[in-house]
């Protein structure tokens, strides 16, 4: 086992504890259900899911540590010699009920295969009715984290990676407003682990203030309908493109934990198009167009 594996595992397990504890405080009504699971072939994990809470309609925060042997076909798609692998990490997706509170995703992981070892992860925001300041604040958090580790870490590259990755090619539209995304970060693992820890520690600060600002805004059925339609795009991405989903399913992971990222409620309407000039159209026309949000001026001070 790679010496970094144990240290990363300890950090990710503790990060799950901190995040779920804080999210329970934010939700105020429900607590996370915890399931321990074992993977046939080696390892297991600890899944925590909160459903029908005061803020979160469905929130999943998963920790896993797995190892074993990949199929010959899948092994060819992953760097490193041979088929033996290890993987440890934490992954989360939070789906609030209020359409004015964005969905968020983050994951941080460490993997090995043969003689290769690398970190991967990131965080991205998926609003339905975006607020300019929320989008800017979210991006600025990740820019600060990355710039604290420059030049080893290149914020602009990670931001562009995120814009490219969270893109529904079949619809030719981004999933949300992005954030940062990185994979196959290898080399100076000690310095890279320092960056990953800072990124993991920054997650709550990137998201909880947005929740607190928007959680009590009044919404109606129109808002809710649009939220459920856009959640359909989220499902499409996770099932068609998401590397974590593919990796988990291809390596015999626990299906319930892998698919915990899917929202509780969703809808698909045939040939949906937002009304011109509507708040729903603004999402497409303004926010689903990648831009350097971290450099934009906020509308309000603070």
Distance between CA 259 and CA 242 in Å, rounded? 11
- Structural domain count, the chain: 1
Print the domain residue range for 118: 3-295
Structure tokens at 110: 């460490």
Q: Can you give the pLDDT at residue 73?
A: 85
Any idea what the CATH number is for the domain that residue 51 is in?
3.40.1500.10
Phi, psi of 214 (to 5 degrees): -115, -10
pTM, 2 dp: 0.95
Q: Can you give the pLDDT at residue 11?
A: 98
Active-site choice (95, 105, 139, 223) = 105
Distance between CA 282 and CA 239 in Å, rounded? 26
Q: Can you give the pLDDT at residue 302?
A: 60
> Which position has the token pair 């993977």?
39
The answer to whether the beta carbons of residues 85 and 69 sit under 8 Å apart is: yes
Q: Can you give the pLDDT at residue 243?
A: 85
Task: Decide if 250 is inside a domain.
Answer: yes
- How many angstroms separate the Cα of 185 from the Cα of each of 38, 79, 111, 113, 120? 28, 12, 10, 13, 6
- Indicate the SS3 state at residue 154: coil
Is 36 a catalytic site residue? no
Distance between CA 25 and CA 193 in Å, rounded? 28
Distance between CA 39 and CA 205 in Å, rounded? 33
Q: Can you give the pLDDT at residue 244?
A: 83
Q: Can you give the pLDDT at residue 296?
A: 96
Task: Decide if 127 is inside a domain.
Answer: yes
Structure tokens at 156: 């602009």
Task: Decide if 196 is inside a domain.
Answer: yes
The answer to whether the beta carbons of residues 92 and 123 sit under 8 Å apart is: no
Task: Decide if 93 is inside a domain.
Answer: yes
Q: Enumerate residue ranges in the chain where pLDDT < 70.
A: 301-302
Q: What share of the chain is helix, strand, coil (3-state, %, to 5)?
A: 45, 25, 30
Q: Can you give the pLDDT at residue 209?
A: 98
Distance between CA 217 and CA 229 in Å, rounded? 20
Distance between CA 179 and CA 105 in Å, rounded? 10
Task: Decide if 37 is inside a domain.
Answer: yes
Task: Decide if 301 is inside a domain.
Answer: no
Q: What is the pLDDT of residues 194-215, one digit of tens each?
A: 999 999 999 999 999 999 999 9
The answer to whether the beta carbons of residues 48 and 75 sit under 8 Å apart is: no
Task: Decide if 200 is inside a domain.
Answer: yes
Q: Can you give the pLDDT at residue 41?
A: 81
Task: Decide if 125 is inside a domain.
Answer: yes
Q: Can you give the pLDDT at residue 40?
A: 79
């Amino acid at each position: 086992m790679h010496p970094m594996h144990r240290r990363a595992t300890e950090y990710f397990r503790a990060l799950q504890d901190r995040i779920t504890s804080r999210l329970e405080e934010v939700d105020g009504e429900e607590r996370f259900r915890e399931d321990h699971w074992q993977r046939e072939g080696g390892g297991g994990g600890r899944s925590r899911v909160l459903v029908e809470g005061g803020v979160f309609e469905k929130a999943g925060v998963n920790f896993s540590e797995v190892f074993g042997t990949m199929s010959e076909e899948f092994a060819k798609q992953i760097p490193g010699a041979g088929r033996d692998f290890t993987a440890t990490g934490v992954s989360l997706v939070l789906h609030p009920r209020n359409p004015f509170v964005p969905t968020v995703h983050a994951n941080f992981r460490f993997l090995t295969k043969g003689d290769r070892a690398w970190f991967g992860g990131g965080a991205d925001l998926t609003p339905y009715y975006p607020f300019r300041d929320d989008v800017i604040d979210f991006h600025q958090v990740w820019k600060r984290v990355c710039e604290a580790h420059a030049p080893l870490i290149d914020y602009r590259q990670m931001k562009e990676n995120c814009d490219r990755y969270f893109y529904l090619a079949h619809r030719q539209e981004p999933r949300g407003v992005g954030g940062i995304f990185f994979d196959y970060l290898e080399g100076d693992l000690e310095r890279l682990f320092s960056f990953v820890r800072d990124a993991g520690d920054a997650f709550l600060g990137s998201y909880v203030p947005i929740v607190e600002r928007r959680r009590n805004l009044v919404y109606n059925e129109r808002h809710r309908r649009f939220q459920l339609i856009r959640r359909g795009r989220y499902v499409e991405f996770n099932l068609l493109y998401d590397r974590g989903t593919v990796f988990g399913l291809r390596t015999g992971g626990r299906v319930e934990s892998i698919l915990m990222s899917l929202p509780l409620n969703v809808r698909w309407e045939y040939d949906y198009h937002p009304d011109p000039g509507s708040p729903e159209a603004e999402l497409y026309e303004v926010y689903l167009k990648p831009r350097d949000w971290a450099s934009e001026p906020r509308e309000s001070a603070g």
